[in-house]
Amino acid sequence: MFKNKTILIVTFLLITSFKLFAQQSTFTNPIIPGGYPDPSICKVGDTFYIVNSSFEYFPGLPIHRSKDLINWELIGYGLYRHDQCDNEVNLVDVQSDGGIHAPTIRYHNGVFYIITTNVYYHEADQTTNFVNFIITATDPGGPWSAPHVLEGAPGIDPDIFFDNDKVWYVGTHSPENPNFDGEGEIWLQEIDIENWKLEGKRHYLWRGACGGVWVEGPHMYKKDNRYYLMVAEGGTSFNHAVMIAVSDSITGPFAANDRNPILTTRHLSYDNWVHSTGHADLVELNDGRWYMVALGIRGDEGHSSNMGRETHLVPVTWEREPFWWKETKYLWPVVAPQTGKVERNTPVPFDNTSQHRDLSFFDNFDSDELNLKWNFRRVPLAKVYSLEKSKGQLRLYTNPEVIQERGRASLMGFRQTETDFEYSAKMAFKPKSNKSEAGISLFQKDNNYFTFTMIRLRNEWFIQLTLAEPGLKPKVLKKGIVSNFDGEITFRIQSEYQSYSFEYSFDGSKFYQFLQTKSNHILSQKYTGAYLGVYASSNGSKTKDYADFDWVSYQGFER
C-alpha cells in the first residue's frame, strides 16, 4: 500500500514537473493581445521593436520592445504630439477606419525610421487623401520627429528599404489599367532622405500571386544575393494571405514563389482558432534563424472577435528548391515549417525564457502622466481630462460632445485583450446640470459602443445602459432611477459564456446586476479592436461638471 502510494506521488510530481517544463518551453499566441494589427518588426543588437497600425486612435503608432520575442513592453508612440497630427497628417477629425495604416519600422546608421500612410476622407468633395510620410528618432521611445511628407506617393502601406548607399520606397497603388476592381500593384522609387522626396524613375514590380486582389503591405528583403518582395493579398478577411516573390534586381522582374501563399488560413476551416492571418514582416535573429510577425483574428465569437486583429509570432526556415530540372533553384521562406499555420502554442524562440502573459490593467492615477495604454478616438480636445485637479484621480470633464462620427467626446480607453474579462471603475460624480452623465464604456467605433453611466435628469439620478450598433440610432437598453446615490458608484462588467453582465455597487462590496446582454454587440467591424474605458458628456450643454475616477481595474481570462 505504502509503495503504491509512493509511486503515485512520484508519478504526480513527474507529471507536474513535465507540465511546468512544457509550459516554459512554449509561448502562447497572440504575442501582443488586443487590437494591434499590421505588425512590422526590426532588430537592433539583441532588442526587437514592433510598430502597429492605429487608424483613427491617438496617440498613434504604438511601439513595443522585447528581448525574447514573446514578452513585449509598450514603450511609446510615434505620433503623440498634437502638432504631429493636425496638419497634413490629420487625426483631429479623421473618419472611422481612416488614419494610420500599416507602418514599417526600420533602423539604419543609428536612426529609427517609421514610414506609413494617413488616410483622410473629405466629405465635401468625396475625395480621399493618402498622405505617406516618414518619422525618425534615435530612441524608439521618443522623441519622434515631425512627419516628413513624401509628395507624389500614391497608395497605402509603404515600406522603406536601405540597400548599400540607396534608400528605396516600396509602395502600393491601383494600376493604370486594372484587370478588375481591387487589383493592386507594387511600385518602387528612390527616396532622397536629406530632402524627403522621391527621385528618379518609378518601377512597377508585381501585382501579386493568387489573383492579385488587394495587393498591399509590401516589405523588401535581401538574402542569397537576391531581393525578396513579400506582400499581403486577398483582402483583410478569411482569404487574407502572405505572398512572396524574388528577383536578381531590386527593380525586377519578380518571380512568384510557386508555393504561394506562404501563410494563410484560406485553406482551413472557418472554425480554426485564428483566421485571416496575413500582413506580415520578417526578422532575422543573431544566430541566423528567422521569425515572422503577422496579424490574425481569433474566432472566439462566431468566427469573429472583440479584439479584432492581433499580433502573432511564427517560426520561419529557408529552403532551397529541390527540383533537379530547374536551372535556378531559388531559396524560399517556409512559414511554420511543421504545420504551415499560426499555432496557439509554439516552442519559445530562445532557451531559458518563459512568457509572462499579463492580461491585467490597473490604474489608480497616482502618476503625473497618463499611463501609456490609454488612447483616445482622435486627438482629444484640450479640456477632456486632468490628473492635477484632484490628485490621485482622473478628472474627466462632461464636455458637450457625444460619441459620433469624426467627433472628439470625453471618451478614453485601453485595449481589450481577452474575450472573457472583468472590468470595473470607481467614480465620484456630483454634477450641477441636468443631462450630465458619466461612467464607463466599451467601444469599438463611433457607431458601435456601450455606455454604462450615471445620469442626472430632472434633478433625479438614473443608471443608464446605452447601446449603439451600426446602422441604428443609439438605444437606451435600460434606465433605472436611483434614490440613494450619494455621489460615489463602482461600475463593473463581467464577460463570460458569451454574455456581458453590467453591474453596479454603492459601497464597493455589494454589487447589483443591472442588465445582462450578449457579448457580440461590439465585434470588430473592420480594422480595430474593442476598448474599455471611461466616458462623460453634458449632452450638448456647456457646463463645468466633471467626474473623478479613483481607479480602473481590468483582468482578462484566457479561454
- Contacts made by residues 353-357, CB under 8 angstroms, sequence distance 24+: 353/68, 353/70, 353/71, 354/23, 354/24, 355/27, 355/28, 355/70, 355/71, 356/71, 357/28, 357/33, 357/558
Helix (H) or strand (E) holding 135: strand 127-137
Spatial distance between the Cα atoms of 505 and 424, rounded to a whole number of angstroms: 10
Short-list 256, 307, 266, 263, CA closest to 281: 263
302: left (phi over 0), alpha (psi -120 to 50) or beta: left
| HEC profile of 449-510 | EEEEEEEEECCEEEEEEEEECCCCCCEEEEEEEECCCCCEEEEEEEEECCEEEEEEECCCCC
Instruction: Tell the residue number behind the cell numbers 533602423, with chain if given.
Output: 107
Spatial distance between the Cα atoms of 193 and 164, rounded to a whole number of angstroms: 14
Catalytic residue among 56, 159, 185, 216: 216
Spatial distance between the Cα atoms of 96 and 528, rounded to a whole number of angstroms: 10
Catalytic residue among 38, 56, 157, 185: 38
- Sign of the four-CA dihedral 503, 507, 508, 509: negative
Q: Is 216 labeled as catalytic in the residue annotation?
A: yes
Q: How many residues are listed for the chain in this entry? A: 559
Q: Is 38 labeled as catalytic in the residue annotation?
A: yes
Short-list 311, 498, 468, CA closest to 402: 468
Spatial distance between the Cα atoms of 336 and 553, rounded to a whole number of angstroms: 37
Active site residues: 38, 216
